[in-house]
């Protein structure tokens, strides 16, 4: 069952969800669009997590 996960694994999954975001707009504005994309971005279909 998907809800029966150990706590450490749940925490790691939540960290992966939080880190899988685009660069915020205010960061792009503050750095004059030097940082446009997040290099560590992950797609759920293409890349798997090592948990």
Residue extents of the structural domains in the chain? 1-51
- Residue 49 CB partners (closer than 8 Å, separation 6+): 12, 13, 16, 42
Topology classification of domain 1-51: Atp Synthase Epsilon Chain; Chain: I; (1.10.1620)
pTM, two decimal places: 0.71
Would you place residue 40 in the very low, low, confident or very high pLDDT band (cuts 50, 70, 90)?
Answer: very high
33 backbone φψ class: left, alpha, beta (φ>0; ψ -120 to 50): left
pLDDT at 51 over 90: no
**22 touches 38 (CB < 8 A):** yes
Give the chain's mean pLDDT: 93
Would you place residue 1 in the very low, low, confident or very high pLDDT band (cuts 50, 70, 90)?
Answer: low
Location of structure tokens 């999954």: 13
């Amino acid at each position: 069952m998907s809800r029966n996960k150990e706590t450490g694994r749940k925490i790691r999954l939540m960290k992966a969800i939080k880190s899988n975001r685009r660069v915020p707009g205010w960061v792009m504005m503050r750095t004059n669009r030097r940082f446009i994309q997040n290099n560590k971005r992950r797609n759920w279909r293409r890349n798997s997590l090592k948990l």
